Chains A and B, each alone.
Chain A
Amino acid sequence: MGVGIKVDTLNAWFGKTQALHDINMDVAANHATAVIGPSGCGKSTFVRCLNRMHETVPEARVTGRVRMGELDVYNGTAAVQIRRRIGMVFQKPNPFPTMSIYDNVAAGLKLNGFHNRHTLDEIVERSLKLSALWDEVKDSLRKKSGASLSGGQQQRLCIARALAVEPQVLLMDEPCSALDPISTGKIEELIFQLKENFTIVIVTHNMQQASRVAEYTGFFLMGRLIEFDRTEKIFTTPSDKRTEDYITGRFG
């Protein structure tokens, strides 16, 4: 099952440049939360702070607190352990090109020491079913490489890879921006189904997508969380003029 994430006074820097200012947000468990805002507003930095990927950038640093369920993300927990519990899917599908479909999905498990063939088979099948790719690839799991799939299939393969290690949270950073409308539709349908078992945070430039898939939406501007509310409220009667100006295209 997914867990909630509590973000408390989160600040982030790249060197001397502050990218996030005092972010407070409660991400609801087993729901999809969308993060929207113009380019450079800090939305990707925000999600990368949730699984401690921000600290992989030289001279980047973070202050504040992030709790994932009972886990304190920045205090007393190893980054590797955090990333096992928070899967991530990126804008551009990035399957391991030389690995088969099967090995792509099993890669994370093998890195974590899982080698029991029967268990791996079960998890690969379950993950591919969860990512709605199983029916399309079940006959060529070991014959085809991940790179041989279409863009949309590759993205669902990356989702299966993230799900295989059984995370509680799935972060998606513009997962559909490189996909056609049919593949986008499949990913959105998938997000809807995955919410039953995972907490999802999705960064998107596509506001229609945010309104279709997310129950909650946060609007970021210049590193600040301007407004965070239920999605239908944000897209019909936002409380802050800046949110309204952005979503109606009056700036940004």
Chain B
Amino acid sequence: MRTRFQQGLEDLRTRLLRMGGLAEQAVDRACQAYIDRDLSRCQMVLDNESQINAAERDIDEQAFDLLAMQQPMAVDLRFILAVTKINSDLERVGDQAVNIAERVMDLAELPKVDLPVDIPRMAGAVSTMVRRALESFIEGKAELAQAVLEMDNVVDRMRDEAFMMLVKTMNDHPDMTRQSVDALLIARNLERVADHATNIAEDVIFWVRGADVRHNVQPDSAELTRRATEV
């Protein structure tokens, strides 16, 4: 047993989970800030972005060291590759949270209007996707990750609906254009977060099953069966 190497992998896993927690928290705070028009939460999202960025650098550095020094193979190699990609996705999730917070700060300066879009519902679906993607990573379960992939279409539809409704609002009520644009951008940012959660889920499936399911390419079913009980 390569104890030191296994400890290195466990440490990498812990760091990624910590970073996942920060990214998930940033999205939740930004969405809550939207609901409450809470500028202090927006500021927290902005302030915490540097922590996420620092975590991204640390994780990449550690993964790079493990690749160079330990020459990992098979499931360990797949794990480290998955971690580096998830790391990048989580950093982008943090960026999207910042974008949402900035839109909320802009909205807070404008008169409050009723927009025909359910951002909290969309935010709830996106948060669930991020949380489940991270759970699939924690538990090393491809089935959980698969469920995340299936949720992506739901969020895409919400974004499309929001787009149509908000464009109509801008046409019908030009005085609500700025608020509509902010809401539209928030919906777009949330849909991007969902895309990153989908990427994370795909990377978990790659790690656990050794199957590349990106871009809707389904792996050979016999291959999936062989890998299903492993890890």
Q: Quick check: B2 and A244 within 8 Å, CB to CB?
A: no
Main SS of chain A's interface residues?
Answer: helix
A-chain residues with CB within 8 Å of residue B71 when the two chains form the complex: 208
A113 within 8 A of B: no
Q: Which of B72-80, B98-106, B135-143, B176-184 lies at the interface? A: B72-80
Please encode chain B, from 1 to 35, with 1 for each CB lying within 8 Å of some chain A CB and 0 for all others: 11001000000000000000000000000000000
User: A239 near B: Cβ within 8 Å?
Assistant: yes
Q: Which residue of A lies closest to B76 (CB)?
A: A248
A236 within 8 A of B: yes
Which residues of chain B (177-231) have a CB below 8 Å from chain A?
Answer: 210, 223, 226-227, 230
- Give the distance to chain A from B103, nearest Cβ to Cβ, in Å: 42
Q: How far is the CA of A243 from the CA of B5 in the complex (A)?
A: 18
Most chain B beta-carbon contacts within 10 A, residue among A235, A243, A249, A251: A249
A244 contact from B1, B5, B223, B230, Cβ within 8 A: B230
Q: How many pairs of residues, A versus B, come closer than 8 Å at their CB atoms? A: 37
**What's the nearest-Cβ distance from chain A to residue B176, in Å?**
53
What's the least CB distance linking A20 to chain B, in Å? 25
- Min Cβ gap A43→B in Å is 18
A163 to chain B: which residues have CB within 8 Å?
none
Say whether A237 faces chain B, with CB atoms less than 8 Å apart.
Answer: yes
Contact yes or no, B226 A248, CB < 8 A: no
User: With A and B bound together, what is the CA distance between A207 and B2 in angstroms?
Assistant: 15
A237 engages B78 (CB within 8 Å): yes
- Minimum C-beta distance from B140 to chain A (A): 14
* Number of chain A residues whose Cβ lies closer than 8 Å to a Cβ of chain B: 16
Instruction: Let me know if A235 and B74 touch, CB within 8 A.
Output: yes
CA distance A241 to B74 in the complex (A): 11
**Cα distance, A250 to B5, chains bound together (Å):** 10
Given A249-B1, A250-B1, A251-B1: A244 touches B226 (CB 8 Å cut-off): no
Contact between B2 and A241 (Cβ–Cβ < 8 Å)?
A: no
- Tell me whether A249 and B77 are in contact (CB under 8 A): no
Q: Are A237 and B74 in contact (CB under 8 A)?
A: yes
Bound: A89/B19 CA distance, A: 52
B210 contact set on A, CB distance < 8 A: 236-237
Of chain A, the residue at the smallest CB distance from B2 is A249
In the complex, which residue of chain B has the Cβ closest to the Cβ of A252?
Answer: B1
Which label, helix, strand, loop or mixed, suits the secondary structure of the B interface? helix
Residues in B with CB closer than 8 Å to A101 are none
Query: Is A239 in contact with B2, judged by CB distance below 8 angstroms?
Result: no
A247 on the B face (CB < 8 A): yes
* A248 and B230 form a contact (CB under 8 A): no
Q: Report A121 CB to chain B, min CB distance, Å.
A: 44
User: How many angstroms between the C-alpha atoms of A211 and B72 in the bound complex?
Assistant: 12
Alpha-carbon distance between A118 and B210 when the two chains are bound, in angstroms: 57
Beta-carbon nearest neighbor of A247 in chain B: B73
- CB-nearest residue of chain A relative to B77? A236
Determine if B78 and A248 form an interchain contact, defined as CB atoms under 8 angstroms apart. no
A235: B residues at CB distance < 8 A: 73-74, 77
With a cutoff of 8 Å between Cβ atoms, the chain A residues found around residue B78 in the complex are 236-237
Is there an interface contact between A249 and B74, defined as CB atoms closer than 8 Å?
no
- B74 and A238 contacting across the interface, CB-CB below 8 Å: yes
Q: Are B227 and A249 in contact (CB under 8 A)?
A: no
Once the chains bind, are A241 and B76 in contact (CB under 8 Å)? no
State how many angstroms separate the Cβ of A76 from the closest Cβ of chain B.
40
CA distance A84 to B227 in the complex (A): 44
Q: Mark A215-248, 1 if CB is under 8 A from B, else 0.
A: 0000000000000000000011111010110011
Is B226 within 8 A of A249, CB to CB? no
**B73 contact set on A, CB distance < 8 A:** 207, 211, 235-236, 247-248
| 0/1 string, A136-154, CB within 8 A of B gives 1 | 0000000000000000000
Q: Which residues of A contact B72 (CB under 8 A)?
A: 248
Closest residue of B by beta carbon distance from A237: B210
Q: Which A residues are closer than 8 A to B by beta carbons?
A: 207-208, 211, 235-239, 241, 243-244, 247-251
With A211-B73, A237-B227 known, 16 other A-B pairs at CB within 8 A are A208-B71, A235-B77, A236-B73, A237-B78, A237-B210, A238-B74, A239-B226, A241-B230, A248-B2, A248-B72, A248-B74, A248-B75, A248-B76, A249-B1, A249-B5, A250-B1
The 9 closest A-B pairs by CB, nearest first: A237-B210, A249-B2, A247-B73, A244-B74, A248-B76, A235-B73, A239-B226, A248-B74, A247-B74
Residues on B facing A (Cβ under 8 Å): 1-2, 5, 71-78, 210, 223, 226-227, 230
